[in-house]
Amino acid sequence: MIFGQAATPPVHSKRVVPGALLACAVAVVVSVGLLPQTADAATGSKHPRSLAVSVPSDPVQIAAGQSGTIPIRIVNPGSSPVPVVVSGRAVHLENNGRVKMGNGPDPLWKSYAQFPTGPLTIPADGYTDVNIKLSVPRFLSPDLYFIGFLVSPLPSGGGNLQVVNQIGWFATVDVPGPRLRKLEATVAGPGFVIGGGTHALVDTQNVGRAALSYWGENDVTSWPGGSVPKQTRFDPSLLPVGTSRSFTVTGSPAWLVGVVSMHVSLIYSRRSDSSTTEIQLTKRTLVVSPIAILLAIAAILIGGSWWWRRRRRKKLLRERRGGRPKKTGGATTKPGVATKKTGAAVKKSSVATTKTGAATAKAAAAPAKSRSATATKAAADKTRPAEASKTRAAAANKTRAAANGSD
């Protein structure tokens, strides 16, 4: 089967009120028969027949327990009349606005919706208005309800084979009354982006008890230089109970580097159409342009080259002032090694100075020791004759005493 979108003719046009739920549906064109020949029997045209269907753009309001009608228009832009039949079909509204048609009638409306009986002939290059009669059950709570139907062309007689299409559509019925709507929304996106701009994904979900419609805007600012907001508005979006819808918001900085702030505002009617509720979401992202990165790399290279040349020039000046021969080739000593060797040389010089001082002290102490020894020897030489004379005197006295004793 081939799914597509049918054209909507400018019929039953009504003003779309902001905040009201949109009822204009997307048609589903289903090709159900592709036969070998596609020529029209009456006119000989080789183009397949096509149909279009339109419904009221605003919901048809019918109170619970009451009856009403839904007008629809079937348009035939072809050059020959087309017989069709209209039957009920279940319709399912899914996430992100997708519409799925069922294979049979909706169980909820099977006993309460009456579609035209019998074939209807749509004139060539014309249209036919028909009504769907609806009796709303009393047990339905206030909400929006979707009535699906299928327009099926019938093959023409005469043995000619043609392409037969079916047009799936739905209309919206509003059962009035107080209702509780609740919308939840989140925003997610990167915190850092390398590029010209950033984006974020806004996810909305209907967690209330009735369908709702929301609209809003995205205000983008940046720092520095982008304090004036850039505004983007969102068209009204229908969100049935239990469904979700996601969309993307974008922003860009005023300069090559900046912090982009995206302020998303979502507005919907919570309990009544006369009052609204607003949800505010904010996402901030640091955006760096690739051009800024290239400029930063170029600045680092230029600054590093300038610093190296300046340092090399200072080193050459120090070598010339110190009188040391300039080293060439691979004999250049690394600054750290040279500093360590210079420190070691200073330490050795201090050790040599200490040893020289010790030798000087020893040399100074040597004459003093020599003078002391000389004085000691001279004193000894002076005392020796006196001691000898004393010894001789003592011996003479002993000799006299012995002689006197013998007498």
Other CB atoms closer than 10 Å to residue 8's CB: what's the count? 20
Least confident stretch, 38-47, 240-249, 263-272, 339-348: 38-47
pLDDT interval class at 357 (50, 70, 90): low
What CA–CA distance (Å, rounded) separates 282 from 137? 44
Q: Residue 62: is its pLDDT beyond 80?
A: yes
Overall average pLDDT of the 282-302 stretch: 95
How high does pLDDT run on average in the chain? 78
pLDDT interval class at 401 (50, 70, 90): confident
Q: Residue 28: is its pLDDT beyond 60?
A: no
Q: Residue 239: is its pLDDT beyond 60?
A: yes
pLDDT interval class at 341 (50, 70, 90): low
Q: Residue 386: is its pLDDT beyond 60?
A: yes
Q: 3-state class of 285 per DSSP? A: strand
pLDDT over 90 for what percent of the chain? Answer: 55
| Residue with token string 């080789």 | 46
Overall average pLDDT of the 308-328 stretch: 79
Same fold, 28-175 and 183-288: yes
Q: Which CATH code of 3.40.50.920, 3.30.43.10, 3.30.1330.30, 2.60.40.10 fits the domain covering 183-288? A: 2.60.40.10
| Residue with token string 């902001």 | 18
What CA–CA distance (Å, rounded) separates 155 from 161? 8
Residue 10 is predicted with a pLDDT of 34
Domain boundaries, the chain: 28-175, 183-288
Q: Residue 287: is its pLDDT beyond 60?
A: yes
Q: What is the CATH number of domain 28-175?
A: 2.60.40.10
Residue 322 is predicted with a pLDDT of 79
User: Which H, E and C letters describe the chain, residue by residue?
Assistant: CCCCCCCCCCCCCCCCCCCCCCCCCCCEEEEEECCCCCCCCCCCCCCCCCCEEECCCCCEECCCCCEEEEEEEEEECCCCCEEEEEEEECEEECHHHCEEECCCCCCCCCCCEECCCCCEEECCCEEEEEEEEEECCCCCCCEEEEEEEEEEECCCCCCCCCCEEEEEEEEEEEECCCCCCCEEEEEECCCEEECCCEEEEEEEEECCCCCEEEEEEEEEEEECCEEEEEEEEEEEEEECCCCEEEEEEEECCCCCEEEEEEEEEEEECCCCCCCCEEEEEEEEEEEECHHHHHHHHHHHHHHHHHHHHHHHHHHHHHHHHCCCCCCCHHHCCCHHHHHHHHHHHHHHHHHHHHHHHHHHHHHHHHHHHHHHHHHHHHHHHHHHHHHHHHHHHHHHHHHHHHHHHHC
Model confidence over 69-123: pLDDT tens digits?
999 999 999 888 999 999 999 999 999 999 999 989 999 999 999 999 889 999 9
pLDDT interval class at 131 (50, 70, 90): very high
* DSSP string covering 377-406: HHHHHHHHHHHHHHHHHHHHHHHHHHHHHH
Overall average pLDDT of the 9-35 stretch: 36
Of residues 403 and 189, the one with the higher pLDDT is 189
